[in-house]
Amino acid sequence: MRLGYHSITWGGVVGEAAGVTSAKDLYYRANGSMAEAIRDIGSAGYEGVEMFEGNVADYADEPEVLRGMLAASGLELVSVYTGANFIYADALPDEMSKVTRSADLAAEFGASHLVVGGGARRAAGTARGDYDRLGDALDQVVEIAEARGLTASYHPHLGTIVENPDEIEEVLSRSRIGFCPDTAHLAAGGGNPGELVRSYPDRVRFVHLKDFRPDPVTFLPLGHGDLDLADVVSAVREAGYDDWLMVELDSYDGDPRAAAEISKAYLDELLG
């Protein structure tokens, strides 16, 4: 398994202001320097990087700049992260237009994975049929990704209708999309990450790693929290997974490069 790191730690995640009134323009992005992130991730010894769709879109008109930064740091763009509400029928065509644009960019820059989050939790509570709508939408995402040579995976996330193990089953039973276990989000949602990987061994298509402390909910570099990450890696290996392990730390109270180095040292020791 090869090791990558998400650029989110450099600035944290934000969204496009235009997305408030235009779903097709609602990109995720990390609010920091991608040149710095790519340089730091490469110098920490990783081989790949995951980026948000909005950060990749910044280089759509000058692709040679991003390709040059990646090459200079010895990295490849492994995955692009996107997402949407997915449950509102009127907004869905615009959301799928945005997902298609993200998949186009991922393919243009040589990525192999499209990682997707989402499934809005309504103000009035989850409606009957929301999981059906989400499952149908995620199957559309799979078709978009496959048409571009990408593997699509669904990332359960706090704040969506897919947080806990029962909700994960609701969506995975309704869609053929791959499963991207995120160790910290699974734990924060009340699940055991290793057990959840073992529950869906044939669905694991991508892996996000971060450590976690529950009270208060805090995401941490690997080895600095309470998770049994050795068990997660064992579960991933038992599933026959032999692709990327992507470290994704939402924020860090310090130098993001230092956080990347901490997690890299932990994984080097864990993987032997």
Peptide bond into 214 cis (omega under 30): no
* Residue found by looking up tokens 């995951």 in the block: 50
Specify the pLDDT at position 218: 94
- DSSP secondary structure of 175-210: ---EE--BHHHHHHTT--HHHHHHHSTTTB--EEE-
What CATH number corresponds to the domain at position 157?
3.20.20.150
Cα separation, 42 vs 203, in Å, equals: 29
d(CA 179, CA 112): 15
pLDDT value, residue 267: 98
Mean pLDDT value across the chain? 97
CA nearest to 13, candidates 26, 39, 32: 32
Tokens coding 14: 């934000």
- pLDDT (0 to 100) of residue 271: 95
Cα 71 versus chain centre, distance:
22
Where do the H-state alpha helices sit in 44-119?
53-57, 63-72, 92-108
Place of tokens 């907004």: 91
Express each pLDDT in 129-163 by its tens digit. 999 999 999 999 999 999 999 999 999 999 999 99
Predicted confidence (pLDDT) at residue 257 exceeds the cutoff of 90? yes
pTM score, whole prediction: 0.96
- Non-local (6+) Cβ contacts of 238 within 8 A are 198, 201
Instruction: Specify the amino acid at residue 165.
Output: P
What is the total count of domains within the chain? Answer: 1
CA neighbor of 16 nearest in space, from 93, 102, 74? 102
Q: Which residues contact 10 (CB under 8 A, 6 or more apart)?
A: 30, 32, 33, 34, 36, 37, 40, 256
DSSP label at residue 131 = H
Domain with 104 in it: 2-271
Residue 272 confidence (pLDDT): 87
85 pLDDT band, cuts 50/70/90, is very high
- Beta-carbon contacts of 48 under 8 Å, excluding residues fewer than 6 positions away, are 2, 3, 4, 5, 75, 76, 77, 78, 79, 244, 246
Neighbours of 33 (CB within 10 A): 14
- List helix spans (H) across 218-255: 229-238
Residue 71 has pLDDT above 90, yes or no: yes
Q: Is 154 left (phi over 0), alpha (psi -120 to 50) or beta?
A: beta
On whether the CB atoms of residues 235 and 194 are closer than 8 A, the answer is: yes
230: how many CB neighbours lie within 10 A of its CB? 11
Q: What percent of the chain has pLDDT over 90?
A: 97
Q: What is the pLDDT of residue 102?
A: 98
Query: Which of 131, 136, 37, 125 lies closest to 95, judged by CA?
Result: 136
